[in-house]
Amino acid sequence: MESRDALSVVVVRRFLPAAGALLAVISLLAPAVARGADAAEPTVTFAEAIDRALRRNPTVAVALAEIARADALVRQARAGFFPTLAGNGSYTRLDAPRTTLDKTTNQRSVTVEKDQWAGNLTLIVPLLAPPAWGQTLAASDNRRIAEASAADVKRQLATAVGRAYLTVVAQHRIVVVNETARATAQHHYDYAHTRLLGGLGHSIDDVRAAQDLASVEVEQQAGIAGLVRAREALGVLLGESGPVDSTDSVNMPAPPAIDSAIRDARARRTDLKLLDERVAAAHASADRWWTYYAPLLAAVAEPFAQQGSHLVPDSGWQAQLVLTLPLYDGGLRTGITRERDALVEEARANLEAGLRQAASDVRTAYQTLLLADKALVSAQQAVAFAQKALELANLAYEAGATTNIEVIDAARRARDAETAAAQSEDVAHQARLDLLVASGRFP
């Protein structure tokens, strides 16, 4: 027994200076790292984060550009049934004038001069152009799809921002838990070390307290690093050039009842609206098969002027009505019709799958929320019990009724319980967000 105590004294004498220096360095660095993490540029509320992301994230800008592109395609298709006007000009130089011989007079006359020029304007007015009408309507359908797609992009972005924001809030909770745990471990180490220096404690208690404090320091730095990553991720989603911090509270709308949530999902979810638009566009495109079989009628007017040819007048005009009737195209129109019928079936299948998935999302999110709320209550109760156990272990250790193994174990359990409570709170928030998203009530 005496030899074991002597060995412990030797170990403590060698270990404590290095441990003390290490703990001093960590104690100096931890506030600096924490201040660096707290130096995030703006602090935004939950609603402000969503609004800023929808205004500044490049994904939304791309979706809006797709709407502008679809609108430009509508204008391109519409040009098919508007008049077109083109001007043409030419200059020709021959090796010699062209002449003809008059056999009665035996004289030659010039019919085409050596230098000639000609110019004309061609005006084409489509009077009947069903393919152009069909292409314009298809482009308009695509524009509505682009608008619905942009709305769904905003929903997906808002969901990602909401989850990132909640992650920042959760990491704040973890950092607070680690800071509290470090303060508790520091207090226990100071007490154990003071007892050892006063000749009342044991060296092993002092070493265990120092080891526990060092372990808590590691967890504290990991928590700060996680907060830094979460802030940076939120800043990227918000279109900022630096990290963005959250407030301590999250205000989300109250979750709906499950029956109401399922009904709202069908009417509100932008992904289902997008699938509806695709079905409607596919149906309309399939119903316009007749435009490929209809005749085309155009009016052509052409004023002209020329010089150098004696076979035509120097100026004049001509007009035509041109009727085109498609008779045989090698099966092109049949293939187009079959393709569009297949697209209708595909769009219907996607919509049915989306409706089933939406109902499943609502049911899953609702059950997850109920379980998460129950787990949060249990986690909070566990924190209260763990704190009480830590108080009792401290009282017993200070009274000399036990070693500090029980104190360190109780402190670790209290730390784990508080971490679990913070994680349970995050799971409850995420589940509430999932239910709002699944029901179409977010954003």
Q: Average pLDDT, stretch 393-415?
A: 88
Cross-strand partners of 44: 246
Task: Show the tokens assigned to 168.
Answer: 């920042």
Q: 319 Cβ partners below 8 Å, 6+ apart? A: 299, 300, 301, 302
The count of other CB atoms within 10 Å of the CB of residue 276 is 16
Top pLDDT among 350 and 98 is at 350
Range of the domain at 230: 2-438
Main-chain dihedrals φ then ψ at residue 348, nearest 5 degrees = -60, -45
Distance CA 139, CA 145 (A): 10
- pLDDT tens per residue across span 24-45: 444 444 444 444 445 545 899 9
pLDDT value of residue 404:
84
C-alpha distance from residue 185 to each of 30, 345, 409 (Å)? 15, 65, 11
Task: Show the tokens assigned to 419.
Answer: 């971490």
pTM metric for this prediction: 0.80
Cross-strand partners of 315: 305
pLDDT value of residue 44:
93
Q: 321 Cβ partners below 8 Å, 6+ apart? A: 127, 297, 298, 299, 300
Q: Average pLDDT, stretch 60-70?
A: 94
- pLDDT tens per residue across span 85-106: 999 999 999 999 988 887 788 8
C-alpha distance from residue 219 to each of 226, 262, 387 (Å)? 10, 42, 19
Task: Show the tokens assigned to 35.
Answer: 């201040």
**Pairing assessment for the beta strands 43-44 and 245-246 based on DSSP bridges:** parallel
Task: Show the tokens assigned to 222.
Answer: 């990991």
Q: Average pLDDT, stretch 308-326?
A: 91
Residues of 297-333 as b/e, b for ≥16 C-beta within 10 angstroms?
ebeeebebebebbeeeeeeeeeeeeeeeeeeeeeeeb
Is the model's pLDDT at 2 over the cut of 60?
Answer: no
Task: Show the tokens assigned to 291.
Answer: 């435009």
Name the DSSP letter for residue 312: S
Sheet strands (E) in 344-432: none
Top pLDDT among 12 and 415 is at 415
Distance CA 294, CA 222 (A): 71
pLDDT value of residue 41:
57
Is the model's pLDDT at 406 over the cut of 50?
Answer: yes
Q: Where are the alpha helices (DSSP H) in 238-331?
A: 258-268, 270-287
- pLDDT tens per residue across span 127-168: 999 999 999 999 999 999 999 999 999 999 999 999 999 999
Residue 281 lies in a domain: yes
Average pLDDT value for the chain: 88
341: CATH: 1.20.1600.10
Contact 126, 302 (CB under 8 A): no
pLDDT value of residue 248:
78
- pLDDT tens per residue across span 163-202: 999 999 999 999 999 999 999 999 989 988 898 888 877 8
Residue 29 lies in a domain: yes
**Could you give the number of structural domains in the chain?**
1
Q: 297 Cβ partners below 8 Å, 6+ apart? A: 126, 127, 128, 129, 321, 322, 323, 324
Name the DSSP letter for residue 91: E
Main-chain dihedrals φ then ψ at residue 167, nearest 5 degrees = -65, -40
Distance CA 429, CA 163 (A): 9
Residue 443 lies in a domain: no
9-13, 224-228, 387-391: least confidently modelled range: 9-13
